[in-house]
Amino acid sequence: MDLHNKNILITGASQGLGLGLAMALADKGANLILVARGEAKLNRVAEKLRLGRPSHQFIYGISADISKKEAIYRLVIRATALLKAPLDILINNASTLGTTPLRLLLDTGCEDLEQVLQTNLIGPHRLTKAIVGNMVLRKEGLIVNISSDAAIEAYPTWGSYSASKAANDHLTRIWAAELEPTRVRFLSVDPGEMNTQMHADAVPDADPQSLADPGQVALKLVHLIANAETEKNGSRVILSKWEVPNVASNRNAPARSA
Amino acid sequence: MSLQTATRPRDRHEQKLLVIRRRPRVPENATFSDLPHFLNQGDLLIFNDAATYPASLKARTQGGQSIEVRLVAKNEDGSWQALVLGEGDWRIRTEDRPAPPRLGPKDVLFFGNHQSSDEKQSGTIVPDFALPDARRFTASIEAVSKFSNRFMTLRFEVSEQEMWKKIFELGQPIQYSYLKEELSLWSVQTLYSSLPWASEMPSAGRPFTAELLIKLARKGIEFATLTHATGISSTGDEALDEKLPLNERFFIPAKTIEAIGKAKNEGKRVVAVGTSVVRALEGCYANHGALHEGMGSTGIILSATTKLCVVSGVISGIHDQSESHFRLLEAFAPREALIQAAQFAQKYGYLQHEFGDSCLVLRS
C-alpha cells in the first residue's frame, strides 16, 4: 500500500512511538490527524511536522481523551472535517500503565484497573467502531493496534496493562474474523521495548542504552503498515522478528538476476 | 388516518420493513434484517455516508438575547446557511419556537461561555464585548433571507481549523421535540458515517447493522457511497418550509460512478439508501445529462412526474401522507399503491419519522 495521500489517525502522537510514527508517516506523504490529551504539546508537534511540507498535505492535532465516550465521535468527525476525506488507517497507539510505580495485583486498586481498561481497551475499541463502518462500505482500510510482549508474558506488577493489551490483541483477531468478507484489515503489533517515557515510568532503573529508539522502531513499523496485506488478517506481529519483504520476491516486480 | 411516531429510536434489531413492489401488488410486512431477501446478487446499494455534526449552538445577540443557531449547511466559501430560533429548547416544537430578535447584515452573534470557572465561582459575568480574544467565538451575519428572518448566511471569524474545534466543543445535535430523550452525537450517526456534511442524520441508513451488511455482502450485493449534505427537515416558518429542500451539495466518488455503470450494464438494480441519495444521483444526472464524479449541488424536487434515470429503488423512513416525503415516493410507485401501503403500515403498527421503521420501494 502506498502511504502517500493516505488519511491516518494516530493516538498518543505527541511522544514516544506515536511521535516517531507521525514523523515517519509524514515523510511518506500521508495526511495525519495526531491525537493526544495535552493540547499545547500536540500543537507544537503538529506545527513542527508541517514545516517544509506541501500545503496540500494535511497535518493536524486534535486534543482528546479517548477514554471518554463523549470524546470519540467529536474526535472522529472533526478529523474527517479537517482532512475532507474518510480515514484510511487508524493507529491505536495511546496507552497508559495506570498508577506508577506498578504494583502487585493484590495491591492494585480495581478503579486503577478500570481506568487502564478505559484508555487501553474501551477507548481504542470505540474509535475502531466509529471509523470501521465506513471502511466496510469502501472495502478498504487498516486498523493497527499497538500491543506489547506483556500481552503474552506474565510479568509481576504489569497486571492491568497486560490484561488490557491481551484483550486488545484478541479483539483484533475477532474483528478480523467478523469482517473477513469486507477487506478491512486488522493487525496488532508488538513494537518491543523502547526508550520512552512510558518505559522509564514502568522500569525506572532500566539502562536506556539497552532499549530501542522509538524513531527507529517507527520506521520499521511504517514498513509493516505499507505491507500490511502480506500479513494474515488479525494477526499479532512481533516487530523485531518481522522482516521487510524482499522487493524481488514481489510477483509484480521484475525478477532480479542472480 | 395517522401513523404513530417513534418517540425513541427504534431498536435496530426490531426495525420493520414495509416492501412495496410491482409484484406482488400488495405491500409486504418484513423486518429490516430481511432486506437481502428482496435484493438480488449484483444489485447495488448506495449509501449517504455523511456524518451528522453538532449543528445546534446556543448563542447570544449583541443585545444579549439568547438564541439557538442551527448550522444548516456550509457554503463553498466557508460561510454557513443558518436557521436562527428565538429562546427556548428542543422540547418545544420548531414551529412553536419564537422568531429571533430582528437581525441584519453585520450583526454579530456570540457563542460559548461568558464565564471561566473562576468567574463562575465568584459569580462574575463578563459582557460579550469585553471577552478576551481567546474566549471570543463570534460569527457575523452576512445576509438575511428575503423569505424568512430566521434564515441567514453567517461567517465565523476564525480559521477553519478553529471553527470546527469550537463547533465540536459547543455544538449539540439538532433535537426532535417528539422524542422522549435528548440525542447524543453518537446516536445520530449511521454505522458508516464519515464526512460531517449532515445537519440532521441521513436516517434511512440508521437501521443498517454490521450483521446485515455482511449478510448482504455474502449474497453478492454491492455497496457504494456518496456524500450528500442533508439539510433540515423543518424550519418552523411556513414560507421557508415551502422552499425545502434547499439547494444541497453532494460528492460522488469515481468508484461509485463505475459501480453504477456496472450494475446498469448487467441489468441489476441501483437502490438508494435514503432520499438524499436519490436527490444526489438524479440531481447530478439532471445537471449534466449523465453522472459526473466529484462535487455538485441540486435543488431537485422528486414527485410523480420525475423521470428517474439512475435509481431503481429506495429505502426510506415511514412518513405520513400529508408530508412532502410521501409525494417524493410517488416517483417510485403509483399513488394508490402508496396509500394502500400507508394503511397497511398503520394496521401493522409501523412507527413513523426519523427514528421509526423503514420502507423499501422497488420500481422493478
Per-residue pLDDT of B166-208, as tens digits, reads 999 999 999 988 888 999 999 999 999 999 999 999 999 999 9
Dihedral sign from CA coordinates of A131, A177, A223, A3 = negative
CA nearest A204: which of A101, A108, A103, A107?
A: A101
Residue for grid cell 479483539: A171
Q: Which of B53, B164, B194 comes nearest A82 by C-beta?
A: B164
Instruction: List B270's β-bridge partners, or say none.
Output: B44
Nearest to B90 by CA among B68, B59, B66, B64: B68
- What would the pLDDT profile of A115-156 be if each residue is shown by its tens digit? 999 999 999 999 999 999 999 999 999 999 999 999 999 999
Helix (H, G, I), strand (E, B) or coil at B66: strand
Residue of A50, A77, A127 for testing the chain B interface, max B β-carbons within 10 Å: A77
Phi-psi domain of A52 (left: phi exceeds 0; alpha: psi -120 through 50; beta: other): left
A32: chain B residues, CB-CB within 8 Å: none
Residue of A nearest to B210 (CA): A133
What percent of chain B clears pLDDT 70, i.e. is strictly above it?
93
Query: Which one-letter amino acid corresponds to residue B143?
Result: A
Instruction: Give yes or no for B274 touching A (CB within 8 A).
Output: no
C-alpha to C-alpha distances, B349 to B10, B262, B321, B326, B341, nearest whole angstrom: 13, 39, 16, 18, 12
Residue A258: predicted pLDDT: 38
CA pair distance B346, B344, nearest whole angstrom: 5
The residue whose grid cell reads 513494537 is A191
What are the strands of the beta sheet with B248-252, ordered from one edge?
B28-31, B16-20, B358-362, B313-317, B270-273, B44-48, B222-228, B248-252, B294-298
Q: Which of residues 51-70 of A touch B (CB under 8 A)?
A: 60, 62, 69-70
What is the tens place of the pLDDT at every residue in B259-268?
A: 999 999 999 9
The burial of B344, by beta-carbon neighbours within 10 Å (0-12 exposed, 13-18 middle, 19 or more buried), is given as: middle
Confidence at residue B232, expressed as pLDDT on a 0 to 100 scale: 76
Are B196 and A80 a contacting pair at CB < 8 A?
yes
Ranges A44-58, A88-102, A237-251, B217-231: which has the least confidence: A237-251
One-letter amino acid of B89: D
Is A138 in the B-facing interface, judged by CB distances under 8 Å? yes
pLDDT for residue A253: 45
Query: Is the CB of residue A251 less than 8 Å away from at least one CB of chain B?
Result: no
Mind listing the pLDDT tens digit for each residue in B84-139? 999 887 778 877 888 888 999 999 999 986 666 666 667 666 666 677 666 678 99
- The pLDDT assigned to B166 comes to 93
DSSP B293: S
Give yes or no for a contact between A77 and B168, defined as CB atoms under 8 angstroms apart. yes
CA dist B117 and B126 (Å) reads: 12
CB B197 within 8 A of CB B228: yes
**B58 half-sphere exposure, CB direction, 13 A CA radius:** 12
> What span, in angstroms and rounded, lies between the C-alpha atoms of A32 and A21?
10
Asked if A137's CB is within 8 angstroms of B49's CB, the reply is: yes
Would you call A84 and B195 a contact, using CB atoms and an 8 Å cutoff? Answer: yes
3-state DSSP helix/strand/coil % of chain A, to nearest 5: 50, 15, 35
- Output the nine-digit C-alpha cell for B277: 441519495
Q: How far is A80 from chain B (nearest CA, A)?
A: 5
pTM of the model: 0.92
Averaged pLDDT, B214-231? 94
Quote the cell numbers at residue B113: 461561555
Q: Which helix (H) or strand (E) holds A33?
A: strand A31-36
pLDDT for A255 equals 45
* Other beta carbons less than 10 A from residue B31's beta carbon: 15
Closest residue of A to B187, CA-based?
A73
**Predicted pLDDT of residue B115:** 62
Determine the pLDDT at residue A218.
Answer: 97
Q: Is A177 on the interface with B (CB under 8 A)?
A: no
Residue-by-residue DSSP string for B158-184 = S-HHHHHHHHHHH-B----TTSSSPPP
Could you tell me the three cell numbers for A4? 502517500
Given the C-alpha cell 482500510, which residue does it identify?
A: A141
| pLDDT tens readout for residues A65-80 | 999 999 999 999 999 9
Q: How far apart are CA B80 and CA B164, in angstroms?
A: 12
Three cell numbers, residue B119:
468567574
- Cell numbers for A121, please give them: 481497551
The interface residues of chain B toward chain A in range 31-90, judged by CB-CB distance below 8 A, are 47, 49, 51, 53-54
For residues B168 and B139, the answer to whether their CB atoms sit within 8 Å is no
Supply the residues of A annotated as catalytic.
161, 165
Residue A178 with chain B: CB contacts under 8 Å: 210, 214
What Rg, from alpha-carbon coordinates, does chain B have?
A: 22
pLDDT in tens, B50-94: 999 999 999 999 888 999 999 999 998 999 999 999 988 777 887
* A182 contacts B186? CB cut-off 8 A: no
The dihedral sign for the CA sequence B258, B259, B261, B262: positive
**Chain B closest CA to A82's CA: distance in Å?**
7
* pLDDT score of B30: 96
Higher pLDDT, B99 or A12: A12
Q: Give dist(CA A227, CA A19) in Å, integer.
A: 21
The three-class DSSP label of residue B254 is: helix
B254 contact A CB<8A: no
* Nearest-CB residue to B164 (from A70, A78, A138): A78
Q: What is the pLDDT of residue B1?
A: 52
H or E stretch at A74 = helix A69-83
Q: What is the mean pLDDT of chain B?
A: 90
Q: What does the pLDDT look like over A205-245, one tens digit per residue?
A: 999 889 999 999 999 999 999 999 999 999 999 999 999 88
Angle at B204 between CA B293 and CA B78, to 5 degrees: 50
Around B256, how many Cα atoms within 13 Å sit in the side-chain half-sphere?
28
Cell digits of residue B263: 450494475
B129 in contact with chain A, both atoms CB, cutoff 8 A? no
How far apart, in whole angstroms, are the C-alpha atoms of residue A36 and residue A32? 13
Looking up cell 440531481, which residue turns up? B283
Chain B contact set for A81 (CB, 8 A): 53, 164, 195-196
Q: How many helices and strands, by DSSP H and E, does chain B display? A: 8, 19
How near does any CA of chain B get to the CA of A257, in Å?
A: 39
Chain A residues within an 8 Å CB radius of B169: 74
Mutate to test the interface with B, among A75, A134, A180 (most CBs of B within 10 A): A134
CA closest to A78 among chain B residues: B164
Residues A178, B51: C-beta atoms closer than 8 Å: no
Beta carbons of A220 and A25 less than 8 angstroms apart: no
Per-residue model confidence as pLDDT tens digits over A99-120:
999 999 999 999 999 999 999 9
Partners of residue B186 in chain A, C-beta under 8 Å: 69, 72-73, 130
Q: Do A137 and B192 touch (CB under 8 A)?
A: yes
- ipTM computed for the complex: 0.90
Of the candidates A56, A111, A45, which has an alpha carbon nearest to the alpha carbon of residue A83? A56
At residue A89, the pLDDT reads 98
